[in-house]
Amino acid sequence: MEEATIVTRNLTKRYGDFVAVDNLTLEIGRGEVFGLLGPNGAGKSTTILMLMGMTEPSSGCVRVCGLDPVRQPIDVKRRVGYLPEDVGFYDDLSGLDNLIYTACLNGLSEKEAHSRALHLMKRVGLAEETTKKAGKYSRGMRQRLGLADVLLRYPEVIILDEPTLGLDPSGTRDFLRLIVTLSREEGITVLFSSHHLHQVQQVCDRVGIFVKGRLLAQGDITSLANQLFPNSTSDEGREYGLEDIYHHFFEGGSGNENHAATK
Amino acid sequence: MKITLLQNRFLNAAYWDELLRRLIPMLKRELTTFRSSGAVPGVFRSMVLKEMSDHIRSWRVVILIAIILLTCVGSLYTALSGISDAVKPGSVDEEFFFLKLFTLSDGSLPPYFVFIGFLGPLLGISLGFDAINTEQNRGTLSRLLAQPIPRDYVINTKFTAALWVISLLFFFLSFLVIGAGLVVLGIPPTPSEFMRIISFTLLSIVYVALWLNLSLYFSVRFRQPATSALSGIAVWLFFTVFYPLIANVLINAVAPSPFASRRSIYLFERFQFLIMQLMPNELFSQATSTLLMPTVRSLGPLTMEQMDGALPGPLPLGQSLLLVWPQLTGLIGLTLICFILSYLAFMRREIRSR
């Protein structure tokens, strides 16, 4: 098996006495869609910042595409697209101009930047909004523009921090579908953080459950469910599995009762 | 014995040869890794261009530039209308006729260089106070940092773009004054006058860059643009209004009686000079007035012995520059300190989204 795209070993980040990320060991393979699931303040964003080389780990090591983000942040950023939580754009530039500017920062020539930006805006469904000022974009449009922005540099990996926050259900569905399609078609590894289990369940190959800086469990949903609730059948596991797992961790193992209640 | 051995080693050509042979590949290697881990060439330029276009299109800068332009034209007008009375034939001033355009005033409007000393800080503050924090509040900073560019490009381009805007503006204004003078007076400036005007322009750019860097620091330090603008303006007001008051109180408190010894009077004068020089605007006004008025021969207190045998007359440009060298160094030093502070504060900060 080829080497995993994202590897972390005993990764720890401390802010004074507070441990934001505690001994995280994680491997994400090429072309995988990995969901980082956890409540707010669990350390998901901090982990992502460390993967991008935007903050230094207190201890442990990270490899992204075989590179060390602490030593070679620029090379990592060339390969990895990062969509921050609640992304912003230059309000007085049009959506297209925003993308062209990003493309220039990535070293594309002006002509190439223009055609690539147009292509990607079509791809994410913003073909009619190219000349509209980014300040007038709706939340969902901004997220899609953010995705196009990330794709400009032909990334090997894209990291999305709470990408569906504040989107309506249909917008969320479309957005997630877009991510999965992209990942499948172009073999892009996707790491995506969320606190909505349904979304994670819909799109991710594998899930890591993250609470208070610790990775409590990882694996695909069925196997996680089987691990935790060996009595439940695999069919039920697929149906309610993640919810049960979530409750198991966040509400102190009350998952089975909830499960019974929903029945 | 030891010393001679050491000397021998340094004098030995083979030693240097060997050293260079080892050093050069190492440097080359460092340079290539540095390059390969750097951004694509041309990125810096396109970032600066974008920042500049942001500045030029923003209302705030347009308004400030309009104010500066108006004051420049106003003081130019008063200077031009009063210039025929100001210069008497045969006086020393006649030689530096052209510089009068920058310094002359009939009392209704202050001269051009005083205006720049007053409005320059405002221009600098307005160009820098929201450089970093607005970018963060809009959520564009974390996106920008996720691009394959070195982190310091963000702050360096902010500074460079603003500096370009300032430089273009000031050179434009200076050439406007020179051009208007040429048209109205029909007398071209002498080379030395021209060089004085150019050094004055460069000095103004440094002075505004100082305030720019200060407000850049506040923009890194404070999350709200309003806070950062107010702190910049507070520092500016402190130095233009309150610091002279405080300095006066201090100076009056330690003033010796008229019958004190000469030495204590001299020391007092020096103290007074020193205290006033802590103000950046005082440094600027001393430096500019010396540059624009060649008859200014000294800035600090002088003793009678130093005055003895001096012939009243204008200084050549080199001597004027030498006279204001401390002021110049002080201004450039302050500018650098402010930039280093904002650079460090920015580089050490962890940037999260919004």
Average pLDDT over residues A129-139: 90
Strands A33-37, A206-211: parallel, antiparallel or unpaired by DSSP? parallel
- The answer on pLDDT for B5 being more than 60 is no
The predicted pLDDT at position B113 comes to: 85
Average pLDDT over residues B218-244: 93
Which span out of B27-31, B39-43, B157-161, B259-263 was modeled with the highest average pLDDT?
Answer: B157-161
Residue B181 CB partners (closer than 8 Å, separation 6+): B80, B98, B101, B187, B189
pLDDT per residue as tens digits for the range A164-188: 887 888 888 888 888 888 888 888 9
A186 in the same domain as A170: yes
The predicted pLDDT at position A253 comes to: 42
Which residues in B lie closer than 8 A to residue A86 (C-beta atoms)? Answer: 139, 353-354
| Cβ pair B350:A54 closer than 8 A | yes
CA distance A183 to A163: 15
The predicted pLDDT at position B30 comes to: 66
**Residue A59 phi, psi dihedral angles, 5° rounding:** -160, 170
* Shortest CA gap B171–chain A (Å): 29
In a domain, A1, yes or no: no
In a domain, A28, yes or no: yes
In a domain, A131, yes or no: yes
Average pLDDT over residues B85-99: 67
The predicted pLDDT at position A260 comes to: 37
**SS3 labels along A223-252:** HHHHHHCCCCCHHHHHHHHHHHHHHHHHCC
| Cβ pair B145:A54 closer than 8 A | yes
Evaluate the CA torsion angle B56, B58, B61, B64 in order and state its sign.
positive
* Shortest CA gap B70–chain A (Å): 28
pLDDT per residue as tens digits for the range A5-39: 899 999 999 988 898 898 899 889 888 899 888 88
In the structure encoding, which two tokens stand for residue B21, read together?
Answer: 């042979």
**DSSP conformation letters of B317-349:** HHHHHHHTHHHHHHHHHHHHHHHHHHHHHHHHS
- CATH code, A92: 3.40.50.300
pLDDT per residue as tens digits for the range A87-101: 889 998 999 999 999
Which residues in B lie closer than 8 A to residue A153 (C-beta atoms)? Answer: 148
- The answer on pLDDT for B198 being more than 70 is yes
- The answer on pLDDT for B129 being more than 90 is yes
The predicted pLDDT at position A254 comes to: 39
Residue B35: which pLDDT band, with cuts at 50, 70 and 90?
low
A179 in the same domain as A62: yes
| Cβ pair A90:B142 closer than 8 A | no
Specify the 3-state DSSP secondary structure of B244. Answer: helix
Helix axes A110-123, A95-105, angle to 10 degrees: 130
| Cβ pair A45:B353 closer than 8 A | yes
Top residue of A44, A56, A68, A74 to mutate, by most chain B CBs within 10 Å, is A74
- The answer on pLDDT for B111 being more than 90 is no
Based on the structure, what is the number of domains in chain A? 2
At CB < 8 Å, which residues of chain A contact B? 45, 49, 52, 54-55, 72-75, 77-78, 81-82, 84-92, 101-102, 104-107, 146, 149, 153, 161
pLDDT per residue as tens digits for the range B243-280: 989 998 988 888 888 788 888 888 888 888 888 888 88
CB pairs under 8 A between A and B: 83
Residue B91: which pLDDT band, with cuts at 50, 70 and 90?
low
Which residues in B lie closer than 8 A to residue A91 (C-beta atoms)? Answer: 138
- Token pair 């002088």 is found at B302
- Specify the DSSP class assigned to residue B241: I
- The answer on pLDDT for B343 being more than 70 is yes
Residue B214: which pLDDT band, with cuts at 50, 70 and 90?
very high
Considering only B9-13, B65-69, B119-123, B311-315, which range has the smallest mean pLDDT? Answer: B9-13
In a domain, A174, yes or no: yes
| Cβ pair A77:B39 closer than 8 A | no
Residue A237: which pLDDT band, with cuts at 50, 70 and 90?
very low
The predicted pLDDT at position B92 comes to: 54
Of B47, B142, B146, the CB nearest to A77: B146
Of B47, B147, B354, the CB nearest to A77: B147
CB-based burial, B247-281: b 16+ in 10 Å, e otherwise: beeeeeeeeeeeeeeeeebeebeeebeebbbebbb
- The answer on pLDDT for B47 being more than 80 is yes
Q: Taking CA atoms, what residue in B is nearest to A147?
A: B143
A234 in the same domain as A208: no
- The answer on pLDDT for A132 being more than 70 is yes
Check if the beta carbon of residue A133 is closer than 8 Å to that of residue A171.
Answer: no
Which span out of A70-79, A83-92, A136-145, B333-342 was modeled with the highest average pLDDT?
Answer: B333-342
Considering only A67-76, B69-78, B290-299, which range has the smallest mean pLDDT? Answer: B290-299
**DSSP conformation letters of B172-240:** HHHHHHHHHHHHHH--PPPHHHHHHHHHHHHHHHHHHHHHHHHHHHHHHH-SSHHHHHHHHHHHHHIII
pLDDT per residue as tens digits for the range B157-185: 999 999 999 999 999 999 998 998 888 88
CA angle A228/A234/A236 to nearest 5° reads: 90
| Cβ pair B140:A88 closer than 8 A | yes
A188 in the same domain as A253: no
* Shortest CA gap A240–chain B (Å): 33
- The answer on pLDDT for A195 being more than 90 is no
In the structure encoding, which two tokens stand for residue B187, read together?
Answer: 């007398």
Q: Taking CA atoms, what residue in A is nearest to B39?
A: A74
Top residue of A86, A105, A147, A151 to mutate, by most chain B CBs within 10 Å, is A105
Top residue of A90, A158, A162 to mutate, by most chain B CBs within 10 Å, is A90
A232 in the same domain as A174: no
In the structure encoding, which two tokens stand for residue A33, read together?
Answer: 């869609």
Find the Cα–Cα–Cα–Cα dihedral A153, A158, A159, A160, rounded to 10°: 90
Residue A249: which pLDDT band, with cuts at 50, 70 and 90?
low
The predicted pLDDT at position A257 comes to: 38
Top residue of A47, A49, A109 to mutate, by most chain B CBs within 10 Å, is A49
The predicted pLDDT at position B270 comes to: 85
A251 in the same domain as A152: no
**Average pLDDT across chain A, whole number:** 83
Of B38, B57, B138, the CB nearest to A74: B38
| Cβ pair B138:A88 closer than 8 A | yes
A193 in the same domain as A113: yes
The predicted pLDDT at position A258 comes to: 39
Domain ranges of chain B: 42-304+311-348
In a domain, A58, yes or no: yes
Specify the 3-state DSSP secondary structure of B138. Answer: coil
The predicted pLDDT at position B4 comes to: 55
A242 in the same domain as A205: no
At CB < 8 Å, which residues of chain B contact A? 36-40, 42-43, 46-47, 50, 54, 57, 138-140, 142-151, 350-354
Q: Which domain holds residue A233?
A: 220-263
- The answer on pLDDT for B95 being more than 70 is no
Average pLDDT over residues A65-79: 89
The predicted pLDDT at position A150 comes to: 92
A153 in the same domain as A229: no
Of A55, A75, A86, the CB nearest to B37: A75
